[in-house]
Amino acid sequence: MAASDIATSDTYKSAVRRWPITRLLEDERWLAFVLLLPTMVLLGLFIAYPFVKGVELSVTDAKVGVPGRFVGMQNFAALLDDSIFRVAVWNTIVYTAVTTVFKLALGLWLALLLNRNFKGKAFTRAFILLPFIIPTVLSTFAWKWMFDPTFSVINWTLFRLGLISTRINWLGDPSLALISVIIVNIWRGVPFYAISLLAGLQTINPELQDAAAIDGARPWQRFWYVTWPLLLPVTMVVVLFSVIQTFADFQLVYVLTGGGPANATQLFATYAYQVGVGTGLLSQGAAISLAMFPVLLVVVIVQLLYIRRVETL
Amino acid sequence: MARISRRKLLKLSGGGAVVARTGGIASILALKQAPAFAQATTLHWLRWNDFVPASDTVLQKEIVPECEKALGVKLSIEMINGNDIQARTTSAIQSGSGPDIICALNNWPQLYPESVADVSDVADEIGKAQGGFYEESRVVANDGKKWIAVPWCVLGAQLAYRKSWLAEIGYEAPKFAQTWEEYREAGKKLKAKGRPFGQAVSHSFGDPPTYAYPYLWSWGGKEVEADGKTVVLNSKATVDSVNFAVGFWKDAYDEGGLAWDDSSNNRAFLAGTISSTLNGASIYLEAKRKPDVYLTENGTPLWQDILHAPLPKGADGQFGYHLPMSNMLMKYVKDPKPGKEFLRWITSKPVYQAWFDSQQGYSVGATTIWEKDKLWDKDPVMLPFRTAARAGRFPGYAGPADRHAAEVLSKYIIVDMTAKAIQGMPAQDAAKWAHEEVTRIHA
């Protein structure tokens, strides 16, 4: 091969055509923007647009098929005088608070158990996820049968065991109905907590535990002083997601009780659906949905600030 | 092969359609092809999954091909859960596209008057030809000036009861409790034998309101005056009705009913745990369909031990609330003509007959002509359903069946008034609570 056939590095460079877009993407700021663009479009379409549309609806008197006119805060003011709405607010707070505490406690306990080595660990981990994998509507129908006033398998079992003499009216008694929907939510939510916290536990270096054990720390002390502080950031994120989801829960209550008996299990979302879709009052339905937004916003801000503090410690 | 440009094709097919519509069969023969109108027209009809599955089969297997043959319209029927129709209707109206025709329950057409086509020409024609519509069908599908839906049917609600069990306590058929007091006494005796009455008093769209409203009316209670504005719910009649209901519940009913949905009483009755319940004819029809499955305690077919009766009389009379259904032709449909032609065709007597027969009396036609049908000669047990719709009223009485009535209904305020009292709230307070809620809605 003749020496003249070999292109020098300079001539090679000049042979490559650099498109304007290539030059643009070499700038990191533009590259970042382009990479973020799909996410921004998706968030804009499916999160921001519906949210803005919801806000817009809530300040009008729109009905299904009627655009409506601006009425300011009238829909929100009307809610203050709505006794069913007040019940829904209380129910939603109780529902979210109680389920979150139980889901966290049970999820953490399960995660700690699953973090140990035992035979059939992989199978058990997959099995634990079942309540979370099964479509909510389907599993809730199963629970509905289990709580059925006439054919409840739970009542049948308790009766056969001699623990009850008359049947328990799970979904017919106002207090028990709320407890029942709480039980189903906890059953469904625990796997999410367990698997997420298990993932967090597995990022903790086992040497830290070993070192604490050598220093004479008991199991409880090892958990409290080593595991828990390191697991806290993950826990906070999991709780954050869970609170948001539970606050806006719909299908579970809709299938199980429809908000009854006498609104004893009515939540924000079920009431918003009842008003917005059931009676075509879109604006009032939107106002009910948005009434939970300030509460959620405060919860989210507090939790995010706490996570940041924990992470910077 | 000769090339046909897009413009030429449009001209040909458009011309064909116009000629076919104006020139009839001669023009179709002249064109040597079916009209473009017939080739291209499709109709999407959204309706619920019927409680009588045979009727859905008739629609899919008989009506769909017949429709194509008779009208040249390709009909596609989508069947979904009745609870989900409103959500689909809402999204269709808001997005401006969806099913051409939606079969509505209750007074849903009154919720969407701006979004449905005026079908007065079709409804007037059908009503005139078939002896007129029942009042209940009229108030839900007519806004006072025009028809906003074409009435389809009325689902009769009657008490289904165990003939032999009632006979044991002195009600040898056809004798049945005529008043609420008699009915309560009967229920008390039956509950003592472990055979209570059953009734859903919960948030479910069918059975709870179809019981709670006629019960209230029979005592003389009502939501509003005829002006549709003056709320009069908190009256002596209402408080008396609630008071009576609380004792009645404890004396005679299966107390699980506070958590029942529309299918719970069917299951309980078929399982032999309740003796009487307000329902459509589905309990009887299902027991008859599976005579080997559903048996009495003596091993005989259950259907032979079932009879039907209307709700008892109260101080103010005897009433019923029978679920009306009507078909809305949506306004977003660009050409309403095929939809109107279809509604005219399907509600015409010869075509409707096939569907009516398949219902076996579970629903009656929206027009009075169906009371005279030979179907009623087949099974005397179904006879109480034949004229049930005559005593029908619709929620909102004595006012119109408008949006306010729908809001009271969909918030289950009348149902919850009784439910709250059963749960321990004094009857006066329950009536006051319901009155305030209804007033807020009408404000």
Predicted confidence (pLDDT) per residue in A248-302, tens digit:
899 999 999 999 899 999 999 999 999 999 889 999 999 999 998 888 888 888 8
The dihedral through the CA atoms of A78, A83, A86, A91 has a sign that is negative
Residues in chain A where the model's pLDDT stays below 70: 1-16, 311-313
Q: For residue A23, is it within any domain? A: no
Domains: count for chain A: 1
Q: Is residue A32 part of a domain?
A: no
Q: Which residues contact A113 (CB under 8 A, 6 or more apart)?
A: none
Per residue in B73-114, pLDDT tens?
999 999 998 888 999 999 999 999 999 999 999 999 999 999
Q: What is the ipTM of this complex?
A: 0.82
In the prediction, which pLDDT does B25 show? Answer: 41
Work out the average pLDDT over B5-24: 41
Angle formed by the axes of helices A174-202 and A121-128, to 10°?
A: 140
Q: How far apart are CA A171 and CA B258, in angstroms?
A: 8
Give the position of tokens 């009842």: A274
Token pair listed for B124: 């007037």
In a domain, residue A22? The reply is no
CATH, range B40-156+323-381: 3.40.190.10
Among B255, B268, B411, beta carbon nearest to A274: B411
CB–CB contact B112 A173 (8 Å) = no
- The reported pLDDT for the residue numbered B340 is 97
Query: Which of B32, B14, B25, B438 lies closest to B238 in space, CA to CA?
Result: B438
Nearest C-alpha of chain B: how many angstroms from A244?
24
Instruction: Point out the residue among A64, A78, A263 whose CB comes nearest to the CB of B90.
Output: A64
**Is-contact A233 A79, C-beta < 8 A?**
no
Distance from the A177 Cα atom to the nearest Cα atom in chain B, whole angstroms: 9
For the cut 90, the answer to whether the pLDDT of residue B324 exceeds it is yes
Please report the beta strands in B213-333, taking only residues with DSSP state E, as ranges in sequence order.
276-279, 306-309, 323-329
- What confidence tier does B12 reach under pLDDT thresholds 50, 70, 90? very low
Dihedral angle sign, alpha carbons of residues B331, B335, B337, B342? negative
Q: Which residue has the higher pLDDT, B26 or B173?
A: B173
Distance CA A157, CA A142 (A): 16
In contact, B298 and B76? CB cutoff 8 Å: no
Residues of chain A contacting residue B275, judged by C-beta atoms under 8 Å apart: none
pLDDT of residue B56 exceeding 50, the answer is yes
Q: Check CB contact under 8 Å for A257 and B259.
A: yes
Residue A34 falls inside a structural domain: no
DSSP, collapsed to helix, strand or coil, labels residue A7 as coil
A272, two tokens: 């918003």
Lowest mean pLDDT across A69-78, B224-233, B280-289, B388-397: B388-397
Is the pLDDT assigned to residue B428 strictly greater than 80?
yes
Q: Is B242 helix (H, G, I), strand (E, B) or coil?
A: helix
First to last CA, chain A: 65
Q: Hey, which residues 262-291 in chain A have their CB within 8 Å of chain B? A: 262-263, 274-282
Domain of residue A266 covers 81-312
Could you count the other beta carbons within 10 Å of the beta carbon of residue A31? 12
Region(s) of chain B under CATH 3.40.190.10: 40-156+323-381, 158-320+411-442
B32: region left, alpha or beta (phi > 0 left; psi from -120 to 50 alpha): left
Strand blocks (E) in B86-130: 101-105
Segment among A173-177, B29-33, B222-226, B233-237 with least mean pLDDT = B29-33
Q: Provide the whole-model pTM.
A: 0.84
Q: What is the mean pLDDT of residues B364-371?
A: 95
Chain A residues in contact with B202 (beta carbon < 8 A): 172, 257-258, 260-261
Q: How far is CA A21 from the centre of its chain?
A: 40
Q: Which CATH number is correct for B158-320+411-442, 3.40.50.720, 3.40.30.10, 3.40.190.10, 2.130.10.30?
A: 3.40.190.10
- The Cα A275–Cα A260 span in angstroms is 15
Residues 36-75 of chain B with CB under 8 A from chain A are: none
Question: Which chain A residue's Cα is nearest to B256?
Answer: A149
What does the pLDDT read at residue B17? 40
- The CATH number assigned to the domain holding A257 equals 1.10.3720.10
pLDDT of residue B31: 45
Neighbours of A230 (CB within 10 A): 15
3-state secondary structure A91-116: HHHHHHHHHHHHHHHHHHHHHHHHCC
Are B23 and B56 within 8 A, CB to CB?
no
pLDDT at B9 over 50: no
Q: Cα–Cα distance between B193 and B160 in angstroms, integer? A: 18
Contacts of A296-299 with CB under 8 Å at 24 or more apart are A296/A243, A296/A244, A296/A247, A299/A240, A299/A243, A299/A244, A299/A247
**What's the CA gap between B343 and B326, in Å, rounded?**
10
Classify each residue of B167-196 as buried b or exposed e, where b means 16 or more C-beta atoms within 10 Å of its C-beta.
eebebeeeebbeebeebbbbbbbbbeeebb
B407:A259 CB<8 A? no
Identify which has the larger pLDDT, B33 or B335. B335
Q: How far apart are the C-alpha atoms of B40 and B13, rounded to whole Å?
A: 10
Alpha-carbon Rg for chain B, nearest whole angstrom, is 24
**Does B423 lie at the interface with A, CB-CB under 8 angstroms?**
yes
What is the rounded CA–CA span in Å between residue B384 and residue B431?
32
Residue-wise pLDDT for B245-292, tens only, equals 999 999 999 999 999 988 899 999 999 999 999 999 999 999 999 999
Residue with more model confidence, A306 or B439: B439
Residue A13's pLDDT is 54
pLDDT for res A27: 86
Say yes or no: A171 contacts chain B, CB-CB below 8 A.
Answer: yes
Phi and psi of A16, rounded to 5°?
Answer: -80, 125
- Contacting residues of B for A258, CB less than 8 Å apart: 202-204, 261
Q: Does B439 touch chain A (CB under 8 A)?
A: no
Residues A128-162 have pLDDT tens digits of 888 888 898 899 999 999 999 888 999 999 999 99
| Amino acid present at B398 | A
Residue B81 touches chain A, beta carbons under 8 Å: no
Average pLDDT of chain B is 90
Instruction: Retrieve residue B54's tokens.
Output: 């045979």
Supply the pLDDT for residue A16.
64
Contact A147 B259 (CB under 8 A): yes
| Per-residue pLDDT at B18 exceeds 80 | no
Residue A58 inside a domain? The answer is: no
Are A174 and B423 within 8 A, CB to CB? yes
User: At residue B6, does pLDDT exceed 80?
Assistant: no
What whole-number distance in Å separates Cα of residue B439 and Cα of residue B413?
11
CB A83 within 8 A of CB A93: no
Burial of A187 (0-12, 13-18, 19+ CB in 10 A): middle
CA–CA dist A277, B262 (Å, integer): 20
In a domain, A244, yes or no: yes
Min distance B124 CA to chain A CA atoms (Å): 25
Instruction: List the Cα angle A75/A77/A78 in 5-degree steps.
Output: 65
Chain-chain contact of A149 with B259 (C-beta, under 8 angstroms): yes
Q: Which of B199, B203, B402 to mutate to test the interface with A (most CBs of A within 10 A)?
A: B203
- H/E stretch holding B150: strand B150-155
Residue A21 lies in a domain: no
pLDDT at res. A124: 87
Q: In whole angstroms, how far apart are CA B329 and each of A107, B21, B48, B110, B335? A: 51, 21, 16, 13, 11
Q: In the predicted model, what is the mean pLDDT of residues B354-379? A: 94
CA B209/CA A258 separation, integer angstroms:
14
Taking an 8 Å cut-off on Cβ atoms, the answer to whether A83 and B420 are in contact is no
Position A125 in a domain: yes
- Summarize the confidence of residues B224-243 as an average pLDDT: 96
Q: Which two tokens stand for residue B363?
A: 């629903």
Residue pair B420/B433 in contact by the 8 Å Cβ criterion: yes
